[in-house]
Chain A
Amino acid sequence: MSSQTSNPYEILVDIQNEISNENQCKFRDSMVKSIYTQAEAIAEKVVTKSHTKKYDWDHKLDDILTSKFTGYPIMFFLLGLVFWITVTGANVPSSMLADFLFGIESKLTTLFMSVNTPQWLHGILILGMYRTLGWVISVMLPPMAIFFPLFTLLEDLGYLPRVAFNLDKLFKKAGAHGKQSLTMSMGFGCNAAGIIACRIIDSPRERLIAMLTNNFVPCNGRFPTLIAISTVFVGGAVASHYSTIIASFFVCTLVLLGIFMTLIISWGLSKTLLKGVPSSFTLELPPYRKPQFLKILYHSLIDRTIFVLGRAIVVAAPAGLITWILANVFIEDLSILSHMAAFLQPLAHLIGMDGFILMAFILGLPANEIVLPILIMSYMSEGAMLELDSLQAMGDLFIANGWTWLTALNVMIFSLLHFPCATTLWTIKKECGSSKWTLFAAIMPTLIAFITCFFITQLVHIIR
């Protein structure tokens, strides 16, 4: 035999090459099937189950939650329910907190007056820092204190792995790794955390895709923004009876848009810059568990809510201060902030926003939480000072500054799609080690946000 002389490895390659790809696939499927049939036959012979109810119940629930037909509607419904409870439940404590914090503000003002503090110091500390802080706390704390425990509850029940299971197929089709559905879910908490979670993806190509698209799902820094604007502009547009339902439904739709964008961009990347075949993995569905309520409350309130709020406060205080200075230092007859906004105005108009909004997004780079406070600050220091103690007052302020439903829509979409916050970008840099991809991670979403808002705006203008 000639095999005695040539390299055995090459003989093997030759043998394998003789079998057509088509046959290989057929053989493989048939082999896997044989293995499974055999395992099933043996298991049937040796395993006897005394049917306990719990066991069956588990399987039936899985069938419903992960079915092709009912899986997605249930996901959408549960997500909507969580938002609805958040929006409805947050209203009352939000206005109570606002009343309380702004009550202190007027007392502080009186105190400052009585000791003859200079006007500018009062401006910086109270109107700049304290107001922003008060706003961040009163608007962000209640929704987070409701949203996080609910989300953790779903996680603790074992529902989130089922969500990942449902989405896995879609990610596969997009040429990405199925585990990306898990890292994306982490992104709902915090995009930086989601990016660190991408370590679970082995293939560098798929990990990069997951990292680059993570910020298309709103993190909890952006949820309050979306919920607040949606409550005022979308919910406020219909009869008050349904307003919260419509508002939460709309936030839900935005989340779906984010997921849709994640898939589309992943698909685009895996077809162009990051070509390749998705690798497979096995996702084990853990059993449903009885949630431990005290643990959930502790983890979601202490670990998440207080942590995120703390971060927001640390960033918001100096941001409020700087914004106040920018809004109150005048060059000629316009404030610095107005100069900058005027510069951005033409660009902002193209995408249906104004210069102040774009400015707020740029100044909000350190943390997305502070975009709305900065915006409110810049509007308020421009026109007449008004007491901002409710979401409705925020809405009135925005409308007074020329907002329409189109502005609101564009702001929400821009917030959903724009560049990730500084922490996230820094994490991307650390995880992938490439400045080039980090830059890409900042520019690509921004471009997409611009393009989307541009098309929506121009389309509406044409229809009108």
Chain B
Amino acid sequence: MGLTCQSCGKALLNDKFNIKLGNHEAFVIALAGNPNVGKSTVFNALTGLKQHTGNWPGKTVTNARGHYTHKDKEFMLVDLPGTYSLLANSVEEQVARDFICFGKPNATVVVVDATCLERNLNLVLQVMELTDHVVLCVNLMDEARRKGISVDLDTLQKSLGIPVVGTTARSGEGLTNLMDEVHDISLGLKITSPKNINYSKDIEEEIKGLVPKLENIFGNTLNPRWVALRLLEGDQTLLDSIHQFLYTEIYSNKDTEVACFYE
């Protein structure tokens, strides 16, 4: 059907996302979150000085990635731009969406601000629609405590159907737990069952009609329910991305090496 084969996944990362895996055994972890939630603090706390920065190919958005080792496994953390949603209203949102959707990270960590969970949950729900491999990192727990806000992490975990970890990245609190969860999700030791968002009746009807067609086209490359939703809302950017990521030939390795050299 002209689809890029699954085994080319790493080449796609390299070529389309400017991400080079030193060690092909490394797990790729995406780090998503709203702006100003301490996402960079989490990133820095986990990776330390093992970081590289560059740009997303063809975009003026910064692309930072770093390595860490946990339980003898190597993880590569990709810091996505801070966004409020994945509805592709801006270049940042598009970059974040495309990476989670087409880059197929082994796990996606969504960092949220414990002091304004409600606003942050919108992004979490949207990421959960896109991928099953999500870990929620509720950051700034110290600030929440100081403001007299308490978050019931257990109930949150049950309501969302994904692992939830409370952290204070500034002091390092909870980071080991976070790495444990990421490890388990990446290795498939833990299976998540993210709750779907329930849409209005007419939308659910439409989805039901579209999903079989889309399953036929994408197999398990893309989540059909999610693609159906984007088609329904008339999102042109996703179609462009599908064209770019799935149906455009990957350049030869030679070019890629040159690109990496310049970076």
Contact = CB atoms under 8 A, between A and B. Distances in A.
A24 B233 contact: yes
Contact of A52 (B91, B148, B150): B148
A285 to B, nearest CB: 11
Give the size category of A's interface with B: 35 or more
Interface string A13-53: 10110010101110110111011101110111111111110
Contacts of A45: 152, 155, 159
Given A19-B232, A49-B148, A284-B35, A34 B2 contact: no
Contacts of A279: 89-90
A51 B231 CA distance: 43
Contacts of A28: 232-234
Interface stretch (B48-56, B177-185, B192-200): B192-200
A46 B117 contact: yes
A293 to B, nearest CB: 24
Interface string B9-53: 000000000000000000000000001100000000000000000
Interface stretch (A4-12, A147-155, A248-256, A299-307): A4-12
A280 B243 contact: no
A12 B1 contact: no
A116 interface: no
B199 A46 contact: no
Interface in B134-189: 147-153, 155-156, 159-160
B233 A27 contact: yes
Contacts of B118: 39-40, 43-44, 47
Interface in A276-307: 279-282, 284
A204 B112 CA distance: 32
B125 A38 contact: yes
A202 B95 CA distance: 14
Contact of A46 (B159, B231, B243): B159
B217 to A, nearest CB: 5
B239 interface: yes
A27 B213 contact: no
A30 B216 contact: no
A46 B156 contact: yes
B223 interface: no
B251 interface: no
Contacts of B206: 27
B232 A24 contact: yes
Contacts of B242: 9, 12
Contact of A24 (B121, B199, B234): B234
A9 B239 contact: yes
A42 B231 contact: no
B160 A42 contact: yes
A1 interface: yes
B159 A3 contact: no
Contacts of B84: 282
Given A11-B217, A24-B232, A24-B233, A42 B148 contact: no
Contacts of B247: 7-9
Contact of A280 (B36, B89, B151, B233): B89
B150 to A, nearest CB: 5
Given A27-B203, A30-B199, A42-B121, A4 B149 contact: no
A48 B200 contact: no
B151 A47 contact: yes
A13 to B, nearest CB: 6
B126 interface: yes
A47 B239 contact: no
A55 interface: yes
A50 B149 CA distance: 6
A186 to B, nearest CB: 20
B121 A34 contact: no
Contacts of A12: 217, 227, 231, 239, 242
Interface in A198-225: 202
B213 A13 contact: no
B229 A16 contact: no
Contacts of B87: 32
A50 B231 contact: no
B147 A36 contact: no
B234 A16 contact: yes
B122 A35 contact: yes
A202 B94 CA distance: 13
Contacts of A40: 118
Contacts of A15: 210, 213, 231
Contact of A9 (B199, B210, B243): B243
B199 to A, nearest CB: 5
Given A8-B247, A35-B125, 16 more contacts: A4-B1, A8-B218, A9-B243, A9-B247, A15-B213, A16-B231, A27-B232, A28-B232, A30-B200, A31-B229, A42-B160, A46-B151, A55-B147, A202-B90, A279-B90, A282-B84
18 contacts: A8-B1, A9-B239, A9-B243, A12-B231, A12-B239, A15-B210, A19-B234, A21-B234, A28-B234, A31-B233, A42-B121, A43-B121, A45-B155, A46-B153, A50-B150, A279-B89, A280-B89, A281-B90
